[in-house]
Amino acid sequence: MLTLTDLRGRDVDIAAILPRADQDISATLDTVAPLLEQVRTGGESALLDLSEKYDAVRPPSLRVPAQVLEQALEQLDPVVRDALDALILRAREVHNAQLPAASVVSPGPDAKITNRWVPVQRVGLYVPGGQAVYPSSVVMNVVPAQVAGVAQLAISSPPQKEHGGWPHPTILAAAQLLGVEEVYAVGGAQAVGMFAYGVRDDSGVVVPPVSLITGPGNIYVATAKRAVQGIVGIDAEAGPTEIMVLADSTAPANLIAADLVSQAEHDELAAAVLVTDSAELAERVISQVEERAAITRHLDRVKQSLAGRQSAALVVDSMDTAVEVANEYGAEHLEIMTEDDAAYADRIHNAGAVFLGHYTPVSLGDYCAGSNHVLPTGGAARYSSGLNVTSFLRSQQVVRYGRDGLSQVAGHVQALAQAEDLPAHGEAVAARFQ
């Protein structure tokens, strides 16, 4: 199932041997582009047709009525409600601390630059719901958006045949718990298209377009987000889940196996990777993974994920090489289980989030650590962050110089305008003193 790749003694190009799925975003663009075009040109009826095709149900309407949201919360299992309350509390505390402060700088006399943080006005939050149910992703999207001060939040999640064509009731209950009233029963690439282009009919706007789309999803969702980037902003490409465990010979094989299987159950395309300098540990992990995978509830998905090209146990010459591999891979989640986790963590540049020690499994971060579980995948952790409060803010500079302030630098502006052969720039300054 999980294959051992022994790289010891081999002089390899690390980037070339990294385990990655065959079906990535580039390979999926051809499938997703026509769906987006169908939504752009066909509006509401196209969205309903696509739900029928991909979710096997035509929802009663795009928007979920208020009473359906209210009823979902009323009927929510109290144990799940307690868990959601606990998650919301921790997530709010963590995300409140991320709010950046404004700065005011006077770089000279009679000169002031204010750097302020302005929330995006309207955002579309995607909550997955194809193979599993993700109320936790409601919280992970909504809490940072609310802390940032976003005025309009809209959620979209796939319609469910067993629930009358509405998104799963636990997702609706989580939305209601957080006070989000605008919820749509649309999934996949079509939901991304709906948010990006908006929907109009003869009587006017049905769904206003958003400025930013955030949230996780499968390969179709992540691909659609890449495709609409530029029309709208996106948080990051947060596609099929990845876990990499960086471990030395001191690590417990049973816990590593449990964590690899835990993330493999998300999706056939999920990636579970171990990188270690201990062949003996790798062999023990592989055998424990096999035992667990054989009896786990979603064994078909798990087996496909572990057998796919994206999953592997990599054995390398040294822990230095293991760190190099981890940085080159840029995992969504990187667990570190070594004799000195903090020291290894200091050497990690590229990872969506880092989980240290035996008591910090990724599934804790998925649900209740307080950290955000919407994280970049496919190597995007090299340049993107996990979802956070600043994902919903823009830095905006407000500039004010007075007459004295401008006169101090007028000569420099003239000199640079001449040097760039843009004399009208200099003349605009000179005009103030004529």
Ligand X SMILES: N[C@H](CO)Cc1c[nH]c[nH+]1
Q: Which of 221, 316, 325, 362 binds ligand NAD (CB under 6 A)?
A: 221
Backbone region of residue 420 per phi and psi (left: phi > 0; alpha: psi in -120 to 50; beta: other values): alpha
Q: Output 248 or 267, the one with its CB closest to Zn ion.
A: 267
Q: Which of 188, 361, 370, 379 binds ligand NAD (CB under 6 A)?
A: 188
In eight-state DSSP terms, residue 101 is P
Span of 64-72, 79-87, 195-203, 266-274 interacting with ligand NAD by CB under 6 A: 266-274
State the nearest-atom distance from the C-beta of 293 to ligand X, in Å.
17
**Site residue total, ligand NAD (CB under 6 A):** 30
Active site residue 412: no
Q: Output 335 or 366, the one with its CB closest to Zn ion.
A: 366
Residue with tokens 């009525």: 65
Residue 242 sits in the site that holds Zn ion (CB under 5 A): no
Q: Which of 314, 351, 373, 401 binds ligand X (CB under 6 A)?
A: 373
Q: How far apart are the first and last CA of the chain?
A: 79
Identify the CA nearest to 225 among candidates 124, 333, 350, 352: 124
> What one-character-per-residue DSSP string does 268-281 give?
TT-EEEEEES-HHH
In eight-state DSSP terms, residue 110 is T
Instruction: Pick one of ligand X, Zn ion, ligand NAD, none as the site partner of residue 129 (Cβ within 5 to 8 A by kind).
Output: ligand NAD
| Helix or strand holding residue 207 (H, E) | strand 204-207
Cα(187)–Cα(130) distance, integer angstroms = 8
Q: Which residues contribute to the annotated binding site for NAD(+)? A: 126, 190, 218
- Residue pair 236/386 in contact (Cβ under 8 Å)? The answer is yes
Selected catalytic residue, list 95, 332, 335, 373? 332
Q: Which of 95, 122, 226, 266 binds ligand NAD (CB under 6 A)?
A: 266
Q: Which of 366, 370, 377, 391 binds Zn ion (CB under 5 A)?
A: 366
Cα(344)–Cα(252) distance, integer angstroms = 17
Instruction: Pick one of ligand X, ligand NAD, Zn ion, none as the site partner of residue 221 (Cβ within 5 to 8 A by kind).
Output: ligand NAD
No. of H helices and E strands in the chain? 16, 16
State the nearest-atom distance from the C-beta of 58 to ligand NAD, in Å.
13
Selected catalytic residue, list 95, 333, 335, 373? 333
Identify the CA nearest to 275 among candidates 236, 242, 237: 242
Q: Which of 38, 136, 170, 384 binds ligand X (CB under 6 A)?
A: 136
User: What is the token pair recorded at 70?
Assistant: 């209210």
Active site residue 74: no
- Residue pair 360/280 in contact (Cβ under 8 Å)? The answer is no
| Residues carrying an active site annotation | 332-333
Residue ranges that bind ligand NAD, judged by CB under 6 A: 31, 54-55, 128-132, 137, 158, 187-189, 216-218, 220-221, 238-241, 266-267, 270, 332, 373-375, 377
Q: Which residues contact ligand X by CB under 6 A? A: 134, 136-137, 241, 263, 332, 366, 373, 375
